[in-house]
Amino acid sequence: MVAHELRSPLATMCNVLSLYDASLSPALLANLRGILDRQLRKALHLVDDLMDVARLERGDAIRNASEIDLARIVAEAVEETEHRLRAKEQTLQVEVPDGAVPVRGDPIRLQQVVVNLLDNGSKYSSVGGGIALHLRLEPGWAELSVRDWGLGILPQDLPFVFEPFFRAGRSLEQPGLGLGLALARRLVELHGGTITARSDGPEQGSEFAVRLPST
């Protein structure tokens, strides 16, 4: 499966290179360059995910734990995903508390979790859809939820969405390896937290909730 997923961007890059000719018009060259850029990033993303899995297996993924403000992490994750949402004309509603949401953790890893949930919300929703992100501070806990109103998850698929390489049959049209949520769960658990998924069923959207101990 990994080989298959990697083969597709590599094959596209080979095809683009075989078309490449310096005498092509600047517009066409820019086009080809854009395709190369996107496919290269896709291949890189897949390899990064695989490296993360390997790192997590070794148990050394959380290296830079410190006191951080989860609200800031959320703001940075939103900034990172904004352009992808805009490309699908999707709206993102963000609700965060006024003050800081203190947790102890690795900022890069926690941002990766939030980005993954936002990206999934976008990927499994149609053009023009909406996503809502809520962050709350409860006594002893920070609670983050990402909800979309897209494809939804079948009840029989729900128990498996955090398993490595699991992909629901209905979502196979979208690119992916089925590693994002497995990584997210492992990262959240390494931070002493939990992650859960719920959906009212097909076309009813999905909601992912992360709870992290607050400091």
Sign of CA dihedral 164, 196, 132, 167: positive
Q: How far apart are CA 159 and CA 213, in angstroms?
A: 24
**Shortest gap between Cβ of 29 and ligand ADP (angstroms)?**
32
Length of the chain: 215
- Closer to ligand ADP by CB, 29 or 190: give it: 190
User: Does residue 8 sit in helix, strand or coil?
Assistant: helix
**Least distance in angstroms from the C-beta of 165 to ligand ADP:** 8
Residue closer to ligand ADP (CB basis): 141 or 166: 166
Q: How many whole angstroms from its chain centre is CA 106?
A: 17
Interface ranges with ligand ADP (CB under 6 A): 116, 120-121, 124, 148, 150-153, 161, 166-168, 171, 176-182, 206
Residue number, nearest CB to ligand ADP: 176
Do the bridges between strand 102-105 and strand 91-95 make them parallel or antiparallel, or are there none, so unpaired?
Answer: unpaired
**In the bound complex, what is the minimum distance in angstroms from residue 199's beta carbon to ligand ADP?**
7
CB closer to ligand ADP, 101 vs 146? 146
